[in-house]
Structure 1
C-alpha cells in the first residue's frame, strides 16, 4: 500500500497541536470584530485593543491547561500566545477578520503587516485562514478565492508549516440562520470539503462547520419546536456524505452554539461513524465569561474561567475521548505515513 508523504515540519507541528491520542482538542480565541461587538454591546467604549488583549490572555492562561492548542490572532493575541500553558500548540490566523458587506463576494484579505513567515517567527505551529465560500457564486469570485488559498498554501509549503483552512458556507439569497439555508447547507459543506481536499491547495487540515443547523433538527437541544429541515437519520446521512467528500483530516468548529448543543452535535457525528479529528472550539467554552469580564473585571473573569470555563472544556474533552479519532486516521494511521525530510 502506498504511504502518504508528509514533510517532517508539517507532521511535527500538527502533532504539537494534538493531544497524546492525536486528537485536536483546541480552544479558538482568534475572534476580533465579533469579540469587540460582544463587549461593546454590554458597555459602549469598553472594547478597546487593551481590553480585547486582556480577555484573550486570561482565556489562554486558564484554558490551555486543558487544551491541546489555542488559535489566536496576531493583532490582539500575541500576549495570550505567551500566556499559554507549556506543551500547548499555537495556531495563528492570517486573514483580516470579517468582510465588507457592501462588496460582492465576501473576498478574503490577508493582514497587511504579516506573512506566514512572520507568523512562524512569533511562534505559530499552524497558519490558519478563514474563507467565506459559496459554491453557487459566480465563477470569477470562487476562482479568486481558490487562487488566494493556493498562494497561502505555497507560502506554508515553502516554510514547512501546516496550513489549516476554515471555510464558512454562505448563500447570496438566504440568511445563514434561515430554514432555507439549513436545507442548502449539507450540499454546500459537502462541495466545500471536496474542493479544498484537492492537493493543489496545500491544505493539511480542514476546520469545518457541521453540515447541519441543529436549530432545525427535530429533537435536538437546539430545536425550538417549529420548523424542521431534517430528522435524525437524515442528519446522520448529511454528516456521512460530507465526511466521504473529505480527503484530508478535518475538525469541527463550534459556530457560536451553546456548549451543550455542540457536544450533542459531536455525539451525533460519532453516531454517524464520521472520523472527525477533534475541534477548534471558541465561544461555546468562553462566551459566558464576557459579561463577567465587562461587569466585574479580569480577576472575576479568571475565577469564572477556572470554574465554568474549565468545566466546559473538560466536558468537551470527555466527548472527544469517546467520539473523535486521531488526525492521521483518514490516512490509515501513523504507519501509513512516510515522513519526508
Structure 2
C-alpha cells in the first residue's frame, strides 16, 4: 500500500491535473521575476504589472489550456484569469502559495508564503489544487526541522479544507560548497528530501531531476508510493524531455514545466507572443505529453 494515500476528493483532483493516461502534466506559469526577465523587448526593458498579467493570460490561452493543468500565482494572475473566462473548463487550476524569494537563516533558505494566502484562499480563487515550495538541505534538516514542521502544518490545513497539496522541494548549494561537491550530493539530497516530505504527510511531490536513471529509481523508492513529478528548473526543452523520459521510466508520475516550454516565446507584444506560443511552445507541450505518457 502506498504511503499517504489520497482520499476520494484528492483522487478527483489528481485526475484533473493528469493526462487521460493518468500522468501529471502541468504548465508552470506562477513565476514573477523569472517571467519578467525573459520579456525584454519592451521600449525601456521594464515590464509593468499589467503587461505581466496579460502575458500570463496569454500563456493560459495559447498553452495552458492545452495541458491538463496550469499553475498560477495569486499575486498577478489570480483571480483575473478565471474571472475573465480565460482558463478552459477542461484545464485544472493549481494555485501557488509561495511568494517570490526566500529568507536565509544560518545559511539555510526558507520559503515565504504569499501574504494572506491560505487553503481557503486557494479554493476561493477557483483552485483545484494547491502548490507550495520549500527549500531543503536534507543533510542539514530532518523530519523534526522547521521546514518539516511547515510541511506538516500545511498538509494538515489542506486536508482539513478538502484540498490536494503538491509539495515542491528545491535543494541548493550552500555557501562555500563547490559545484562539484554539490553535484555529487544532489541525487542523495533529492531522494532524502522526498523521504522527509513523505514522512511529513506529503501526498504529491514536485522534485528536481536527480541526475540519472538510478537516482530517479532511488527517489521513487524514497517516495514510498507517493507520486512525484519532475520540474524543469529552467533547462532547455531538449534536455528536459530526456530528463522526463528517464524519470518516468524509473517511477516518476509526470512533469511540471515552465521556462523550458515558454521562456523564448514571451514578448511584451500580444501579437508576437500569441504567434510564438502557438508555433513554438505548443509543439513542445505536445512532445512533453508524449514523454510523460511514454508514447
TM-score w.r.t. the length of structure 2 is 0.90
Secondary structure of the equivalent of 2:139? coil
- Greater shift, 278-287 or 93-102, is seen at 93-102
Judged with a 3 Å threshold, the aligned counterparts in structure 2 of structure 1 residues 268 and 202 are, in CA distance, closer, same or farther, namely closer
- Cα deviation code 1:152-202 (max 9, x no counterpart): 1111011111010110011313568x232111100101110111112xx33
1:232-243 matches, within 5 Å, as: 235-243=212-220
Alpha-carbon separation, structure 2, partners of 1:309 and 1:150: 36
- Residues 135 and 188, structure 1, Cα contact 8 Å, conserved in 2: yes
User: Do the aligned partners of residues 102 and 264 (structure 1) sit closer, same or farther apart at CA in structure 2, a change above 3 Å counting?
Assistant: same
State the partner residue of 1:318. 290
Tell me by how many angstroms 1:269 deviates. 2.8
- What root-mean-square deviation, in Å, do the aligned CA atoms of Structure 1 and Structure 2 show? 2.5
Matched-pair contact (CA < 8 Å) for 1:174–1:180: no
1:93 corresponds to which of 96, 99, 103: 96
Unaligned regions of 5+ residues in structure 1, if any?
213-234, 324-341
| Alignment equivalent of 1:153, drawn from 138, 152, 155 | 155
Matches of 2:139 and 2:56 in 1, distance apart?
Answer: 36
Which residue is 2:68 aligned to?
68
State the match for 1:166 in structure 2.
168
Which SS does the other structure have where 2:99 is aligned? coil
| Superposition map of 1:1-341 within 5 A | 6-39=6-39, 44=44, 46-78=46-78, 79-81=80-82, 82-100=85-103, 104-137=107-140, 143-173=145-175, 178-198=179-199, 201-212=200-211, 235-247=212-224, 248-270=226-248, 273-290=249-266, 293-294=267-268, 297-322=269-294
How far has the Cα of 1:321 moved from its partner?
A: 2.1
SS of the residue aligned with 1:262? helix
What is the deviation of 1:42?
Answer: 7.0
Q: Which moved more, 1:30-39 or 1:151-160?
A: 30-39
Question: Distance in 1 between the 2:227 and 2:130 partners?
Answer: 16
1-structure distance, mates of 2:141, 2:43: 41
Question: Which whole-Å CA distance do the structure 2 matches of 1:89 and 1:298 have between them?
Answer: 24
Bigger-Rg structure (1/2)? 1
CA contact (8 A) 2:5 2:203 kept: no
Q: Which string of whole-angstrom CA distances, capped at 9 and with x for unpartnered residues, describes residues 23-67 of structure 1?
A: 111100010122233336976552221111111110111112320
TM-superposed CA distance for 1:241, in Å, is 1.4
CA 1:256 to 1:41, structure 2 compared with 1: closer, same or farther past 3 Å?
A: farther
* Separation in structure 2 between the aligned mates of residue 193 and residue 62 of structure 1, nearest angstrom: 33
- Deviation of 1:8 after TM superposition, in Å, equals 2.1
